[in-house]
């Protein structure tokens, strides 16, 4: 079963250039985000951007790029770009030589990156790789989260596991079908928030795991989507993406879900500047990163007039 899900997930990511079509075979136009205007957009030089992350200490955005070899290609063409928060590309090839980097998260001046079956640590100030941690048995490492003590959590979407790494040692934090083939990760207080991909037939949900006991608590009660990125919205809830259908959701703490944006397939691992209401979204299938003004978001998925 797990090998089947692995093949399905890889096939879906490999098709990231595809667009939905109507019954006449014409590409459907995504809904225009009228309530949440575009602030800026970057496309030049980006190769399948998967994750955007704001490092609060340096103030820079980092963008992981899978490259043209696909999400499982061990070809060394993956890289990370460095951007300002207003969309200026400071260094399009800040870190090179990775395979298919995806999730990003920092702690203590180090940027942690998932790269298929390893976790890579980067000294942000020096722009140099300092750590490479192999994860035995991993097949498709995806998102990354860090807790207050510096432990690194990484999801493996195809084996339905979440790993924990600390001081170079890796262990399985949680695993099994109840993890719903986890994708997006976020540490929120004493909980690990998980945005699950789900199976071919049953989309994933948003749920939390207790960092000490791994006890699971549902946030959304029903299948929600092929979920990817997750960040806090500053209003007690979360901004979450659905990669397959190109949607961006606001999900309240009680699980109430509202659709904010409907775009092309490939809305991936976002950054959200809650204090400014700015969503920075990697659009993997389209090879670009777009920033949206969500400053009028009222906490219910609607814009304040």
Predicted TM-score of the model (pTM):
0.89
Instruction: For the beta carbon of residue 65, count every other beta carbon within 10 angstroms.
Output: 29
Contacts of 26 (CB under 8 A, 6+ apart): none
In whole angstroms, give the CA distance from residue 157 to residue 229. 13
In whole angstroms, give the CA distance from residue 176 to residue 212. 18
User: What is the DSSP secondary structure assignment for residue 177, as one 8-state letter?
Assistant: G
- Tens-binned pLDDT, residue by residue, of the chain (305 aa): 444 344 444 455 444 433 333 333 333 334 445 689 999 999 998 999 999 999 999 999 999 999 988 999 999 999 999 999 999 999 999 999 999 999 999 999 999 999 999 999 999 999 999 999 999 999 999 999 999 999 999 999 999 999 999 999 999 999 999 999 999 999 999 999 999 999 999 999 999 999 999 999 999 999 999 999 999 999 999 999 999 999 999 999 999 999 999 999 999 999 999 999 999 999 999 999 999 999 988 766 666 54
In whole angstroms, give the CA distance from residue 278 to residue 271. 8
In whole angstroms, give the CA distance from residue 266 to residue 32. 16
Q: What is the domain partition of the chain in residue ranges?
A: 38-293
Residue 192 in contact with residue 211, Cβ under 8 Å? yes
Architecture of domain 38-293 in this structure: 6 Propeller (2.120)
- Name the residue with tokens 């109840």: 178
User: What is the DSSP secondary structure assignment for residue 128, as one 8-state letter?
Assistant: E
Q: For 208-223, give one letter per residue: b (16+ CB within 10 A) or e.
A: bbebeeeeeeebbeeb
Residue 207 in contact with residue 218, Cβ under 8 Å? yes
């Amino acid at each position: 079963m797990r090998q089947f899900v692995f093949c399905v997930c890889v096939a879906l990511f490999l098709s990231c250039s595809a667009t939905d079509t109507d019954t006449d075979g014409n590409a459907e136009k995504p809904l225009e985000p009228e309530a949440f205007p575009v602030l800026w957009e970057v496309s030049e030089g980006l190769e399948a951007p998967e994750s955007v992350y704001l490092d609060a200490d340096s103030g820079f955005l980092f963008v992981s790029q899978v490259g043209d070899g696909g999400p499982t290609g061990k070809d060394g063409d993956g890289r990370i770009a460095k951007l300002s928060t207003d969309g200026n590309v400071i260094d399009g090839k800040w870190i090179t030589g990775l395979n298919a980097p995806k999730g990003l998260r920092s702690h203590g001046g180090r940027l942690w990156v998932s790269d298929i079956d390893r976790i890579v640590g980067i000294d942000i100030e020096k722009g140099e790789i300092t750590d490479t941690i192999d994860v035995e048995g991993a097949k498709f490492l995806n998102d990354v989260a860090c807790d207050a003590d510096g432990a690194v959590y990484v999801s493996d979407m195809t084996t339905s596991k979440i790993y924990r790494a600390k001081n170079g040692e890796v262990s399985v934090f949680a695993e099994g079908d109840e993890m719903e083939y986890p994708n997006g990760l976020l540490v929120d207080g004493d909980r690990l928030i998980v945005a699950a991909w789900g199976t071919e037939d049953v989309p994933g949900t948003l749920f939390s795991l207790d960092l000490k006991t791994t006890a699971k608590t549902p946030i959304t009660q029903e299948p929600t989507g092929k979920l990817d990125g997750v960040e806090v919205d500053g209003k007690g809830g979360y901004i979450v993406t659905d990669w397959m259908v190109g949607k961006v959701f606001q999900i309240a703490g009680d699980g109430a879900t509202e659709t904010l944006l409907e775009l092309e397939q490939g809305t991936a691992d976002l950054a959200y500047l809650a204090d400014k209401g700015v969503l920075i979204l990697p659009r993997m299938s389209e090879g670009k990163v777009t920033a949206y003004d969500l400053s009028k978001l009222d906490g219910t998925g609607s814009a304040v007039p």
